A and B are shown apart, each in its own frame.
Chain A
Amino acid sequence: MQAVVEPDAHHAHGEELGFWRKYVFSVDHKVIGKQYMSLALFMALVGGLTAYLIRWQLAYPETPVPGFHWVPEPTMYEGVVPPEFYNALITMHGTVMIFFVAMPFLLGAFGNFLIPLMVGAPDMAFPRLNMMSFWTIFTASMLLLASFFVPGGAAAAGWTGYAPLSADPVFTGVNWGLNLWLLALALEFGSFLMGGVNFLTTGINMRAPGLTLTRLPLMVWMQLTAAVLFMLSIGPLIAGAVMLLFDRTIGTGFFLPERGGDALLWQHLFWFFGHPEVYVVLLPGFGMLLEIFPVFTRKPIFGYRAIIYSTIATGILSFLVWAHHMFVSGIDPRLAMPFSITTILISVPFAIMVFSMVASLWGGAITFATPMLFALGFLATFLIGGVTGIFLGSATVDIYLHGTYFVVAHFHYTLFPSVFLGGFAGMYFWYPKMFGRMLNDTLGKIHFWITVISFNCVFIPLFLCGVAGNMRRVYNPMQYDFLKHLAPLHQFATLATIVLMLGQIPFFVNFFWSMVAGERAPDNPWKANTLEWATTSPPPHGNFAQVPTVYRDPYEYSAPGAGEDWLPQYAPQPSA
């Protein structure tokens, strides 16, 4: 397929743009990608602080949180987190991390930056829509942060916002906080709908000559599949969010039984979206790993097509499993086994993907640069998230484990590796292309080891808490006699959380210091094959001096008879 794209009128004279059009209201996908990245990293700090407050309360209940004496009443009492604020914290932690960190980081930042570069396009198909999608999520973020400061505090019905708890302010005592939460979510969904339109149009219509779908880098496949999953699943939840807002503000009763509504409807709408959303966040993380493995093993990815087919199969199956979040919710118990089986079927395409990743290492020549360390760490830790899903996919075991810390530990073991280990792998890998400078490798390795070790120290103990029956979202588990012996586990997890957070300091130092003083990056520092490395670091406005032509598959490393151990997609013939 060949698409002739006329660059936006001001691409031609981008140098003349003023500060505001160049850095703030920019239509350049690379600038917008960096804006998403800045937003995601900032929101990750907010999400991290909520995690710190939550963990402190769990380890040392009702004692002052170090460093938080300044927070005024009634939010906190001389540094002590009260139950109302605790519920707001867990709600905001989940909302911030999923919708305002994971998605803007993996899709917003990397999708925006990489899709046009990897398909050889000068920009996104709709640059102005792209700008609008960023400023929409920016507005949503501000509304969400503002909700901390309204009377009654932030939303406190859990990030899943189960009705009727969320449907009437009398149940939580939170009025505008939850309304703002709903508004912020609806705007965020709208933002990623616009983003999805751009991703798909660009990825399908603007590929460089010769770049067939089966020569497309897997990162692009993952981003496009994620966009399709998001766009197909979000509709019901946007409707649900509006219905919930109506229940709260103008007296409808969609989710309130005493007004003729149904208490379970929200859960169906939420999880019909919620499960595909897991893969929306996971697939781009896999994409990072799949781009990085071939470069640092110097051999092709194993089973390129099998991975694509498995991705599509996973995507389709993800629409048929939502009730596994609802085994004990009061649905007809005869529904449990069919949903248990669809859930378990997902492990087949998943196993194919994971085994292909492991097989991709076989016979390689692995170098342990920071991006590769993070990618390997992602795979090794993600496996724990994958296998613990089997426990929860069994309806029988879920009777006991549902709503316990086992669930919390499980989904953190899937999401954290994807968002942070995958995300950091991508960051260390593409930073040279983004900023024209290399990140410091030693600081990167320090960052890796602290992050991966402390992460495991946080969540392994929480599996044990879950097996012991510890319910999640409980302000003070030590109220229960049968949970009192878990105090040391909670304290260990909390100390590990603090180490995990301090462990991010080397990254932030590296990130900002390297931007001004890092070693200058060559166009292709890793000797990688895909199109983004064909242009300068960083690429100019319009990306490519001339539209590249694609001659071959994306991962032709160490091909027989090629001479060198790499063969770029854009090189006409094997280089001598």
Chain B
Amino acid sequence: MLRWFPENISTFGGDIDGVFSLIYYVVGFWFLLTEGVLFYFIFRYRRRSGHAPTYVRGDRWTELVWVLVPAVIVLALDLGIDAVGGPVWARVKEHQPPGGVEVHVTGKQFNWEFTYPGPDGKFDTADDVTMDNELHVPVGQNVHLVLRSRDVIHSFFIPTVRLKQDVLPGRTIKAWFNATKPGQYEIACAELCGFGHYNMRAFLTVHDVDDYQRWVHEKWPAAAAAPTGDKG
């Protein structure tokens, strides 16, 4: 099961996969144990001549402990899973680490629109750089996403980053990640958003630092040179 995960390229992705593995082994053990007992009972207590059934009602504490003790162990393991998972959740979803680059993401039927602040470093100015379905980020830096939707609910999903966040019309939602490996990766929409949902695909390009600067020089001045461009 674990080997089916796609490659992980984010700083927190390994922790999420770690919680998955923990649950996999804990739950896997209990699952095999329960199925084992179940099938043993089915085999052991099949009707045979000379073996009368045992009259047990399970209404006395001395009998019920056979059920209650495993249930309490299950509870303890469950709470343990949340105790391990809680801090990871908080790191991914509750806190935005400082620094890095900011990109505005807008979902619309059926494209992802990525907006950069442009040379002036400010959003909502004329030199903003907007492109469809291409997200470019530098490796090893925090990337802050400001997510919006123009029409219906979409879900911003980068499988290799282990990031998923629904995008809502009428609200602004923040998310972040930090990519650890240069390359090109796929971005998907993970919430049904209409007939073109299946093809609402974008690409994340993680550049190494020099390469990212080269990309900025190549793409951003062009927008700044436009007639209405204001140089910051």
A238 to chain B, nearest CB (A): 22
What is the bound-complex CA distance between A464 and B75, given in angstroms? 27
B193 at the interface (CB under 8 A from A): yes
Which of A125-133, A360-368, A494-502 is found at the contact surface with chain B? A360-368
Q: Is B188 among interface residues, defined by CB-CB distance under 8 A?
A: yes
**Residue on A nearest B93 in the bound complex, by CB:** A333
For chain B, residues 165 to 189, give those with C-beta under 8 angstroms from any C-beta of chain A: 165-171, 173, 185-186, 188-189
Chain B residues near A358 (CB-CB < 8 A): 34, 37-38, 41
- By the criterion CB–CB under 8 Å, are A165 and B152 in contact? yes
A257 contacts B by Cβ under 8 Å: yes
Given A87-B195, A394-B81, decide whether A164 and B31 contact each other with a Cβ distance below 8 A: no
Q: Known contacts A358-B34, A469-B6; is A305 also within 8 Å of B195 by CB?
A: no
Task: Indicate if the CB atoms of A158 and B57 lie closer than 8 Å.
Answer: no
Nearest-CB residue, chain B, relative to A558? B53
**Which of A367, A384, A388, A394 has the most CB atoms of chain B within a 10 A radius of its CB?**
A394
Say whether A299 contacts B53, CB under 8 Å: yes
**Interface assignment of A5: CB less than 8 Å from any CB of chain B:** no
Interface centre among B39, B153, B189, B199 (most CB of A within 10 A): B153
Q: Does A171 contact B (CB under 8 A)?
A: yes
**Partner among B63, B68, B78, B155 whose Cβ is within 8 Å of the Cβ of A403:** B155
Chain A neighbourhood of B63, CB < 8 A = 302-303
Q: Which of A35-43, A284-292, A472-480 contacts B (4 or more CB under 8 A)?
A: A472-480
Complex CA distance for A558 and B56, rounded to whole angstroms: 9
Which of A303, A328, A394 touches B64 (beta carbons < 8 Å)? A303
Once A340-B85, A361-B42 are accepted as A-B contacts, the answer to whether A165 and B5 lie under 8 Å apart by CB is no
B197 in contact (CB, < 8 A)? yes
Bound-state Cα–Cα, A384 to B153, Å: 31
Q: Give the residue among A364, A480, A558 with the most B Cβ atoms within 10 A.
A: A364
Chain B 74-85 interface 0/1 with A at a Cβ cutoff of 8 Å (1 = within): 110011011001
**Chain B CB within 8 A of A13 CB:** no
Q: Mark A227-266, 1 if CB is under 8 A from B, else 0.
A: 0000000000000000000000000000001100111100
User: Separation in Å of the B213 CB from the closest CB of chain A?
Assistant: 28
CB distance from B64 to the nearest CB of A (A): 6
Binding stretch for chain A, among B19-27, B125-133, B223-231: B19-27
Chain A hits for B196, CB < 8 A: 83
Contact A474-B194, Cβ < 8 Å, known A328-B164, A344-B78, A402-B164: no
The chain B residue with its CB closest to the CB of A467 is B4
> Given A302-B67, A344-B82, A468-B6, does the pair A399, B45 have CB atoms closer than 8 Å?
no
B6 & A333 in contact (Cβ 8 Å cutoff): no
A333, A367, A397, A471: which contacts B190 (Cβ < 8 A)?
A471
**Which residues of chain B from 39 to 54 have a CB within 8 Å of any chain A CB?**
39, 41-42, 45-48, 51-54
- Asked if A333 contacts B89 (CB within 8 A), the reply is yes
* Interface footprint category on A: 35 or more
Tell me whether B67 and A83 are in contact (CB under 8 A).
Answer: no
Complex Cα–Cα for A168 and B66 (A): 55
Q: Is B139 an interface residue when CB atoms closer than 8 A count as contact?
A: no
A401 to B165 CA separation, bound complex (whole angstroms):
12
Please report the C-alpha to C-alpha distance between residue A87 and residue B193 in the assembled complex, in whole angstroms: 10
- Check if A365 sits within 8 Å of B52, measured CB to CB: yes
Measured between alpha carbons, how far is A140 from B170 in the docked complex, in Å? 34
Residue among A83, A379, A555 making CB contact with B38, cutoff 8 Å:
A379
Contact (Cβ within 8 A) A172 B170: no
Q: Is B58's CB under 8 angstroms from A399's CB?
A: no
Known contacts A305-B59, A337-B89, A351-B74, A480 near B201 by CB under 8 Å? yes
B100-126: contact bitstring with A at CB < 8 Å (1 yes, 0 no)? 000000000100000000000000000
Given contact pairs A395-B89, A479-B199, A157 touches B192 in the complex (Cβ within 8 A): yes
Chain A, Cβ-Cβ closest to B49: A365
* Max chain A C-beta neighbours (<10 A), residue from B5, B38, B198: B198
Contact for B81 among A257, A352, A390, CB less than 8 A: A390
The contact string, 1 if C-beta is below 8 Å from chain B, for chain A 382-419, is 01100110110011110111111000000000000000
- C-alpha gap A348/B58 in the complex (Å): 17
A396, B6: Cβ atoms closer than 8 Å? no
Question: Is A526 among interface residues, defined by CB-CB distance under 8 A?
Answer: no
The answer to the question of B97 belonging to the interface, with a C-beta cut-off of 8 Å to chain A, is no
- Whole-angstrom CA separation of A354 from B72 in the bound complex: 13
Q: Quick one: given A302-B56, A387-B30, A558-B53, are A171 and B109 in contact (CB under 8 Å)?
A: yes
Find out whether the CB atom of B190 lies under 8 angstroms from the CB atom of A263. no
Determine if A560 is an interface residue (Cβ-Cβ < 8 Å).
yes
* Pair B54/A306 contact, Cβ less than 8 Å: no
Q: Is the beta-carbon distance between B56 and A300 smaller than 8 angstroms?
A: yes
Q: How far is the CA of A117 from the CA of B24 in the complex (A)?
A: 44
B85 contact set on A, CB distance < 8 A: 340, 394-397
Identify which of A329, A388, A471 contacts B188 (C-beta below 8 A). A471
Which one of A258, A366, A390, A463 lies within 8 Å of B78 (CB-CB)? A390
B218 at the interface (CB under 8 A from A): no
Across the interface, A365 reaches (CB within 8 A) one of B53, B74, B166, namely: B53
A481 to B, closest residue via Cβ: B186
Contact residues in B for A463 (Cβ distance below 8 Å): 1
Q: Does A173 contact B (CB under 8 A)?
A: yes
Contact present for A464 and B45 (CB under 8 Å): no
In whole angstroms, what is the CA distance A240 to B136 when docked?
41
The closest CB in chain B to the CB of A474 belongs to: B198
Query: Does the CB pair B201–A559 fall under 8 Å?
Result: no
Considering only residues 137-191 of chain A, those with a C-beta below 8 Å from chain B are 156-158, 162, 164-165, 171-173
Q: Are A363 and B35 in contact (CB under 8 A)?
A: no
A242 to chain B, nearest CB (A): 21
User: A557 vs B57: C-alpha distance in the bound complex, in angstroms?
Assistant: 10
| CB <8 Å contact, A474 and B153 | no
| B92 contacts partner chain A, Cβ-Cβ < 8 Å | yes
- Determine if A391 and B47 form an interchain contact, defined as CB atoms under 8 angstroms apart: no
A325 to chain B: closest CB distance in Å? 11
B167 CB contacts on chain A under 8 angstroms: 330
Q: In the complex, what distance in Å separates the CA atom of A104 from the CA atom of B38?
A: 31
Within 8 A of B (CB), among A340-356: 340-341, 344-345, 347-348, 351-352, 354-356
Interchain residue pairs with CB less than 8 A apart (13): A263-B169, A264-B171, A302-B57, A330-B171, A363-B54, A390-B78, A391-B24, A394-B81, A397-B85, A399-B92, A401-B20, A469-B5, A471-B189
Residues of B within 8 A of A (CB): 1-2, 4-6, 15-17, 19-20, 23-24, 27-28, 30-31, 34-35, 37-39, 41-42, 45-48, 51-59, 63-64, 66-68, 70-72, 74-75, 78-79, 81-82, 85-86, 88-90, 92-94, 109, 151-153, 155, 157, 159-160, 162-171, 173, 185-186, 188-199, 201
**6 tightest Cβ-Cβ pairs between the two chains A and B:** A257-B170, A363-B54, A302-B58, A469-B159, A396-B85, A475-B198
Kindly list 5 other residue pairs between chains A and B, CB separation below 8 angstroms, not including A360-B58, A475-B197, A482-B6.
Answer: A298-B53, A341-B82, A401-B20, A402-B190, A464-B4
